[in-house]
Structure 1
Amino acid sequence: MNAATLPIISMTSLESAAGLAALREAASEVGFFYLTDHGLSEAAQQRYLALTRTFFQLPTAVKQTIDMIHSPHFRGYNALGSEMTAGRLDAREQFDWMNEELALAPDQLRSPWQKLIGPNLWPSAMPSLKPALTQLQQTMSHITVNLLQKLCLALGVTSNALDHTLGSQPYTHAKLIRYPAQQAQQQGVGAHKDPGYLTLVLQDAQSGLKVERGNEWVNVAPIPGALVVNIGELLELASNGFLKATNHKVESPTGGIERYSIAFFMAAQLSATVPVLPLPSHLKARALGPSTDPNNPLLTDVGNNVLKGRLRSHPQVTRKHYCDDQLRHLLAKSFAHLPTNEICNECLA
């Protein structure tokens, strides 16, 4: 696949029936598309990518002061080889931030996902990072909420059919990502699907993102100014499988070239349960149920669906912050029905 064959959707086209039809086809047949005319200028994108490069150029000791190991909420810096996908270490360096919130006291926790709620970690050596990324978070949130409402219209339901799951603001999770050059091609991030409603990816000129189509992996070449959008598991659940959450991965760059990107994930509030939308009959007939993976079942309760991915991806954070007696009890109660114990053997023991 090249830039000409991956669907290109203009946000401005979604005011028309033809535009909504094109969106519906892209989201149901491919699960990935480019989004243009979205309101985040190419110049602004370049400024955010420049900020990303500046962050990763900070001294290692400075970045380690905000290492994710210090955050029970899975926020902060991850050095190369700190995150796992599909059971293997990823060759990427990254910084994660989410909604800025106050953490709950231990005696307030009723479900393990509530421990995801909390503040971000920001580097004091780079004070410009917090306001810039907070603004980006607001902009991306606006784009994804607008796009989610257009997707609802494309599915033949009201534009606000999923608004009640968002509340006053959606749950958001974003990453600054650096893929350093490798001697030989390897897993930058392994094959996976995203757990939320929608993902936006802002990528530099270096390719590497690949999407699974049938029995092959096809390249998602960067298009200047365009954001890459992919459908998440929650939309696959909400559409009973009509929309597709598609496997994707990133291969590490070689030849001395690095790749920088920013990924933004939007989901329902962690406390929400995803409904199945009442699709019109002609679409409902094509909705054959969400995909199933016995090692990674989809959960309609958003908090637990998000948490299981974080626990698996960051085992060092899991061991430090989720293995006390209280969390072991809550995890066992929430995840006892899952046929997988690799979330955290210590916590599920």
Structure 2
Amino acid sequence: MGCSGIPTIDISPFLKEGVDEDGKKKIKEVISEACCQYGFFQIANHGVPLDLMMQALELSKTFFEYPDDEKLKASPGSSAPLPAGYSRQPEHSPDKNEYLLMFPPDSNFNIYPQNPPEFRGVLEEIFLHLTKVGILLESILNECLGFPANFLKEYNDDRSWDFMVALRYFPATENENNGILEHEDGNCITFVFQDDVGGLQVRKNNEWIPVTPIPSTIVVNLGDVFQVLSNNKFKSATHRVVRAKGRSRHSYAFFYNLHGEKWVEPLPQFSKDIGEPPKYKKFQFKEYQQLRMRNKTHPPSKPEDVINITHYAITP
């Protein structure tokens, strides 16, 4: 157990050539328990070099400290499905952040900063590493859920909808809501690594637990897709960011997604095969993502009108 109050799991047995079935079994037990309870854990020895993670954070800090005219050279293009490149939240937004968003390195949508000069190469390299982490974690979750070998790999076989965000959260002030409102992610899995400022919190047993930054670890955050597929066996993590006073927070979030054309619904292994009614209606992933994006572009006046996965919930 890590000092953050959520488990920190060494996943190296899944990366080594030798067979360590006992080690793998223990890892799957801890991950399954975390996913059933609150959908959050941290991983260590995941294959992403620590020096690359630190370099990515330092270059991100350098970029976000540039004047606006320099950052705006990487402003999003009109053809991207999401605002790839540099963007900043509107002043009225409670999030109070600026960010740099990129798709897979071979995507035509990416708009890279020209400075720092080495930033593009580091972004592309960290993206590829996190893609490998996503594929590995998906295979582990496949075993945790008792699926046939490669079931999730075949279901989620297109990586073109993955994306990564470098984020800067501005310091908190005295007279405002100082963080991102609690929410769940609408994707499959989110991976986060952060600087030492912290601020990330997960709701566990109805309490907010700080996810204390631990060098070289990556936070794993289960999203709505796994909650629906497992018919609520695995939980989509409820989390938030509380901004610190006097210091900006820098982090990276990698969103391991489905292709937009995929359909999502409770799988029979967790519903009709075991006599459980499905708790969600079938929906297309891109439709849900469009509704989630509308939450940001046209925020509803009442918090209860924000669209989340309960939009597809089946009332008993």
SS at match of 1:162: helix
List per-residue Cα deviations over 1:97-152 (Å, max 9, x = no partner).
123577xxxxxxxxxxxxxxx61222234443332212211110110111011111
Mean CA deviation greater in 242-251 or 14-23: 14-23
| Matching residue of 1:321 | none
Q: After the TM superposition, which residues 13-162 of structure 1 pair with which residues of structure 2 at under 5 Å, given as runs?
A: 13=13, 15=21, 16-68=24-76, 70=78, 72-74=80-82, 75-81=84-90, 88-99=93-104, 119-162=109-152
* Structure 1: gaps of 5 or more residues: 103-117, 293-297, 317-338, 344-349
- Residue 187 to residue 284, structure 1, CA distance change in 2 (3 Å): farther
Which of residues 300, 303, 310 is equivalent to 2:293? 310
> How many residues are aligned here?
293
Name the amino acid aligned to 1:311: R
- Residue 233 to residue 205, structure 1, CA distance change in 2 (3 Å): same
Name the amino acid aligned to 1:302: F
Q: Distance in 1 between matches of 2:81 and 2:285?
A: 16
> TM-score of the superposition, structure 2-length normalised?
0.81
CA RMSD of aligned residues (A): 3.1
* Structure 2: gaps of 5 or more residues: 15-20, 309-316
Name the amino acid aligned to 2:289: V
List per-residue Cα deviations over 1:76-110 (Å, max 9, x = no partner).
2222536x8xxx531111111123577xxxxxxxx
Q: Is the 8 A contact 1:209 1:249 kept in 2?
A: yes
Which of residues 209, 224, 249 is equivalent to 2:240? 249
Q: Distance in 2 between matches of 1:37 and 1:242?
A: 27
Mean CA deviation greater in 270-279 or 39-48: 270-279
Identity value in percent: 24
- Residue 242 to residue 97, structure 1, CA distance change in 2 (3 Å): same
Q: Distance in 2 between matches of 1:284 and 1:195?
A: 26
Q: After the TM superposition, which residues 233-248 of structure 1 pair with which residues of structure 2 at under 5 Å, given as runs?
A: 233-248=224-239
The Cα shift of 1:314 comes to 3.3
- Does 1:218 pair with 2:223? no
SS at match of 1:246: coil
Runs of 4+ that moved beyond 6 A: 339-343
Q: Distance in 1 between matches of 2:27 and 2:206?
A: 29
The Cα shift of 1:277 comes to 3.7
List per-residue Cα deviations over 1:161-194 (Å, max 9, x = no partner).
1122322435212111111222337343221111
The Cα shift of 1:275 comes to 5.1
SS at match of 2:37: helix
SS at match of 2:148: coil
Q: Distance in 2 between matches of 1:276 and 1:223?
A: 35
Q: Distance in 2 between matches of 1:37 and 1:188?
A: 30
- Residue 308 to residue 187, structure 1, CA distance change in 2 (3 Å): farther
Q: Distance in 2 between matches of 1:57 and 1:17?
A: 45
